[in-house]
Amino acid sequence: MQRFPRGQMAIDQGEAEIFSEFEDGGPMWTGSGPRERRRAVAFAQPFLAAPVVQVTVSLWDTDQSTNLRAEIAAEDATPEGCTLVFRTWGDTRIARIRMRWTAIGAVASEDDWPV
């Protein structure tokens, strides 16, 4: 559990298209087996330490004739940003994915005094 001093907690959020492959026949749409896409995102301003990052799927465009298999994650979080990750496997066909992210962490306060 992270605890934040009063006035030092911040929330940043955004949305990113991870991929769109149905138009050009990319591997997420035409391939099979393990596949992965990563997208780096930058926070609006740095946190004091790596924040907690939660991700959700905001657009999910899939082929209805195959099983839906997916894992989403935020990895490699730093005070400046993180990497959004989408993974699938088997015969799953994904045309496009968009993900929303929310980062929560401590930020510098104007009441901080340099020592």
Check whether 114 has a pLDDT greater than 90.
no
Is the per-residue pLDDT at 6 higher than 80? no
Q: Give domain status of residue 111, yes or no.
A: no
pLDDT band for position 2 (cuts 50, 70, 90): low
Whole-number pLDDT of residue 24: 85
- State which residues form the domain around 84: 9-106
pLDDT (0 to 100) of residue 70: 95
Domains of the chain: total: 1
Within-domain flag for 52: yes
DSSP secondary structure, 10-59, as one string? EEEEEEEEEEE-TTTT-HHHH--SSEEEEEEEE-SS--SSPPEEEEEEEE
CA distance 6 to 3: 9
pLDDT, tens only, 33-86: 999 999 999 999 999 999 999 999 999 999 999 889 999 999 999 999 999 999
Residue given tokens 């839906």 in the structure block: 68
Give the CATH number of the domain where residue 22 resides. 2.60.40.2080
Is residue 26 in a domain? yes
22 located within any domain? yes
CA distances from 35 to 49, 88, 102, 106, 112 (A): 31, 5, 24, 34, 45
